[in-house]
Structure 1
Amino acid sequence: MQDDNHAATDAPLAPLTTLRLGGPARRLVTATTDDALVRAVREADDTGTPLLLIAGGSNLVIADEGFEGTAVRIATSGFRLDGTRLELAAGENWSDAVARTVDAGLAGIECLAGIPGSAGATPVQNVGAYGQEVAATLTEVVAYDRRERATVTLAGAECGFAYRHSRFKADPERFVVLRVRFALQDAGGRSAPLRYAETARLLGVETGARVPLPTARDTVLKLRAGKGMVLDPEDHDTWSAGSFFTNPILAEAEFAAFAARVRERLGADAAPPAFPAGEGRTKTSAAWLIDRAGFTKGYGSGPARISSKHTLALTNRGSARTADLLALAREVRDGVRDAFGVTLVNEPVTVGCAL
């Protein structure tokens, strides 16, 4: 049922998410311009209507009951290159945009190839993979400030970027991303220095080396596809929200206690993955924790299971409900906590439900 050219009532939301889960929205508005997006947000704010923003839908877990409010689908478009400066509309497909920068011979985001979702979502999560993250090249975010009721431009330094975090994620009710701007690099058709050991190893080069841009992108796409992290409608391993849990970052005492639990459980010589995370903190691997706690690839017997390709992805095998996915997520989270004393935190945003 249509109530205007760009709005529908009782609208299914599951098809707008990569998990293909969740009930309908009371109202769904599709915004194809920045002005239309701001109007839709202002209308919801003025009427006190709950608001849900959806773009690529790759980071959303929506309740089976749906959303009792207005969902706004961000379908804005715009890709502009000025030398090495890139501006993207929030609704631009991120993976397509990365491919275009590689084709243009510009380095800086090539290892973020294949990540599903929209450009506007990248600063919210400070999206990162294979040694690159958005914070390293992002210069500005143009956003609608719901508190000030004005469009603002935030410099990268004002975005509060941290591992899979930003001020947009910390205060999700305030800003609506409209545009993102990046400073890329012309390295003569070569990539930025490779920072991820797995990528460098696969290419037979040292960490820190540069390779042809298409080579870097294609290698990342191959790695992602092997883990079920490139969208494929025929492959249920890709019916996911990508990595469901973030890698834990532990203070010194927390990591020492965790390492002791690892030795107790796995043997005196066992040692967990450990990566410096600044200020006496250490990052470890969520995938390692999940696997060592007994939740291996393909785990589960119901309609929601761990991916057969990657333990970090929780997948819809085609007939799952959100309740099934959350039950699996809780089982994994609680099992890891019981085994190692570390509580995993979900990366996707939950709507109308909670872990």
Structure 2
Amino acid sequence: MNHSSNGKDATQHLRKGLLQLDTTTGIRKAEHLQTQPDRARKGITKRIWKDRYLLLIGLPGLLYLLVYKYIPMAGLVLAFNDYSPFQGLFSSPWVGFKHFQTIFENKEVLRVLWNTFNISFLQIAFAFPAPIVLALMLNEVRNQIFKRLVQSVIYLPHFLSWVVVVGICVVFLKGDGLVNHFLKDTFGLKAIPFLTDPAYFKPLLIAQVIWKEAGWGTIIFLAALAGVNPQLYEAAIVDGAGRWRQIWHITLPAIRSTIVILLILRLGNVMDVGFEQIYLMLNPFTKEVGDVLDTYVYVKGVQQSDYSFATAVGLFKGLVGLVLVTGANYLAKRFGEEGMF
């Protein structure tokens, strides 16, 4: 009997001990869970205070994005209604996807879409590689004074506005301009209608973009080339590699990731082909091949006050850019590149 009673007492004590242990552990866990948010808040506050000067430096940029990029997104509701200034933004009649259907059903809009994609991909095919070629050429120059002089000269057009660039183009290429005078006086040829012939419109656009922006684009690629280890070139020379093999096997692989990232960013703006440049170059003779989404939206949205349709086109452009950036980033990762995200 004594043994059985002692056994029962020991079992009861053990149960009480385990119960107290579970209770104590539960209380500690609860206290730990309660203190986790407090610790997180304190950690965030500490980090903000530690990086306060950096955050202050970035504040203007954040305010710019907030005021000019995010707050105006509330106006996207215009794309889904027939906006009337008298009824207001949220009281105008709701029409759903009517304006988006117009984008794909209107033949004029389809023509403008084709022109936009055509000009944009011509720019990617010819204007995008131009800074890469320039950077490779400048990287081969050993005379530093000549190299800096060339860099300064090719950078300068970037700081000119499109009004100035198109103005220079008109002065040189108009019917009685310098180029036609030269062709007439030197070779006895007739004046060539560079500015009114639709066949010359797109080549002129691409040439202007290359002349204006190629020099500025070389900055990024030259910065990437500056990080290449010179010992790689020395090893290649020892192995008997010439200049072309050094470029192909060392220089281009060194800037490949930079090229991929910039190409992804460019694809995100495939629907933006330069409103100012094209608007200034357009005339009744070249409207058929040169009218793009931006100029069409300007006419419809600003001159004809069709704000809802203009907003729908803007939203459509953003969605196309998002799809292209996401797809290009996915393909870049599939081929072993880092990508953007």
Instruction: Give the TM-score normalised by structure 1.
Output: 0.22
* Structure holding more helix per residue: 2
* Structure holding more strand per residue: 1
Which of the two has higher C-alpha Rg?
2
